[in-house]
A and B are shown apart, each in its own frame.
Chain A
Amino acid sequence: MARKTIREAINEALRQEMARDPDVIIIGEDVSGGAGGSGEEDAYGGVMGVTKGLIGEFGRERVIDTPISESAIMGAAAGAATTGLRPVAELMFVDFVGVCFDQIMNQAAKFRYMFGGKARTPMVLRTMIGAGFRAAAQHSQSLYHLFTAVPGLKCVLPSNAYDAKGLMIQAIRDDDPVIFFEHKALYDIADEVPDEAYTIPFGEANFTREGDDVTIVAFSRMVHIANEVADKLRREGVSVEVLDPRTSSPLDTDSILESVEKTGRLVIVDESAARCGLAGDIAGMVAQEGFDFLRGPIRQVTVPHTPVPFAPTLEDAYIPSPAKVEAAVRQLLDTKPRRMSA
């Protein structure tokens, strides 16, 4: 056990699984970097350094730098998975899904159902999400809602290093296509992470704070914002429960409903989208399944219905902030309980 960052935790998960199973390969743009160059072989190890060092241990046959061809990468991973490998493919930024979604949405996701249950497509697609890096509209989105909407895909959103390792190992061993969303702002967040391999099952939420007054559901980086708000309000005597579903597909609806039954108040913090995003999805589910638990309206704190802006003032205003989450919680606490008319 040692403190490891999310970057290190994912790297360790990949290394341990590659050592355990020769069918696990890594394929993507600059996953080592340096192929065909005049300098070092492992120049990048992924643009964020997540796959650094793996080529030295496993060689170019298993850590494969590709041309900048996202459709070919996604399709190669899907085709290889269906024929016996367990590829971990990298889509550098989730924004690039625009040029290759067919291979994920129409191919990998559908093989099993479309072929009558005979196909297995055990691929992992690692991809980066998240605003806050002044990278503007085409390198900052958090498009996990698009993938969550596709039957056949599983969607994983680790918020801490312990989860990142366990969820990645589960993703690699899983027999369905798994999309693994890594938030740019979280790579250097460190936790105690066991050295040995372990898995965390999909569809099981993690309660990062326990409380009785308000439930906050948050994914990925938003979990940290929710925790910050919960800790601040606790000092005022307000008890906030924070629930990190960890996977958006499958979604642990039971835990969300149990928490809402206890607190009667729900705030959802979501970086994906203002419309048709995870917040709206969960709000709809709770309105249908848990309406009688609610003591006030469900509050959604999301990004606005705009592209991600460039200017620092605008981007800072774009991202759900602790202040906005706190305001939503306070607003909800101030809401008088619903009166049923006689």
Chain B
Amino acid sequence: MTFSESQLLDAYRRMRTIRDFEERIHTENTTGDIPGFVHLYAGQEAIATGVCLHLSEKDYIGSTHRGHGHCIAKLCDVKGMMKEIFGKQGGLCAGKGGSMHIADLSQGMLGANAIVGGNPPLAVGAALTAKTKQTRHCAVSFTGDGGSNQGTTFEAMNMAVVLQLPVLFVIENNGYGEGTGADYAVGSKDIAGRAAGFGMPAVRVDGTDFFAVAEAAGEAIERARNGGGPSAIEAVAMRFYGHYEGDPQTYRSAEELKRIREDSDCLRIFRTRVTAEGTLSEAQLDAIDAEVAELIDEAVAEARAADYPPVSELTTDVYVSY
């Protein structure tokens, strides 16, 4: 699979935006101004980006509690996301959802989802819409190694195979479900193999390699659009931060924590490859870095300046009508 220069620049911009967004949340969170708790996606950028690059706003994705990266890769408005995370007016969910529920249906983003294993059945539903209306659109469910052990995920995979729905299950194996190792919690130690057992094509790819993810996702999504039914991809990467911000991560060894950024930085791996191959220049990438830094600065400033929703909003939008 080959990518045009503009596609590669687009991919780098999405990955860089996710990284800077998350690094900045990491810092902002220490001020105590972000209500509740947040789960950062840094380290897994190549997965969301490698998949979502193949999707339009008419294709749907379901996400997880670690959803910021999926939102950005699906081109949700970054400023609206930041406001939402601060719980402010003008947030993508009007300040009523927060970090774990960011959604933007106009971009095909069906929501971050704070229930582990919550979204695979929903993605199956979005795929059912696509199949019923014969749109050639598809749905992608992002789940983690933790969510891969939920019965909802098994049910969704089986149903997708039975009904031959255009859905891709992306299981991001970042090594830990909260504080418990994936090799311990996944009985077969083979998430892709387990998905294949439901009767769909399933592959395991290096989730720090944008090209590996994008190639596998491109194939699966093309198959889905052409009526070939569901597929699964297990993408292996490491999360840079803890399960949640503030997680002391004592379940990880000092050696592992030290190695993560040296060995598993998908942005560095991407930059090294495209500059070595000469497909993109350092200057092009630096320019994106500068633009993204400015965007994130503005997003934080605007989110901090925005007002909280008025108390009159407490009881609105429970129903369309009641």
Contact = CB atoms under 8 A, between A and B. Distances in A.
A84 B129 contact: yes
B261 to A, nearest CB: 34
A119 B105 contact: yes
Size category of the binding interface on chain B: 35 or more
Interface string A94-128: 00000100110011000111111111100000000
Size category of the binding interface on chain A: 35 or more
Given A116-B94, A116-B95, A81 B162 contact: no
B151 to A, nearest CB: 7
Contact of B158 (A67, A106, A119, A250): A67
A252 B139 CA distance: 40
A103 B121 contact: yes
A308 interface: no
A196 interface: no
Contacts of B106: 118
A69 interface: yes
A106 B115 contact: yes
A86 to B, nearest CB: 10
B111 A114 contact: yes
Contacts of B318: 112-113, 151-152
A107 B129 contact: no
Nearest to B316: A117
A115 B105 contact: yes
Chain A residues touching B, majority SS: mixed
Interface in B265-322: 316-322
B158 A115 contact: no
B115 A102 contact: yes
Contacts of A77: 125
A79 B92 contact: no
Nearest to B103: A115
B133 interface: yes
Contacts of A117: 94, 96, 316-317
B105 A116 contact: no
A185 interface: no
A287 B118 CA distance: 39
A4 B288 CA distance: 68
Contacts of B94: 116-117
B147 interface: no
22 contacts: A67-B162, A69-B155, A72-B121, A72-B124, A74-B121, A75-B124, A76-B122, A76-B159, A77-B125, A79-B62, A79-B127, A79-B128, A85-B132, A87-B125, A102-B118, A107-B118, A113-B317, A115-B101, A116-B94, A151-B318, A154-B319, A203-B322
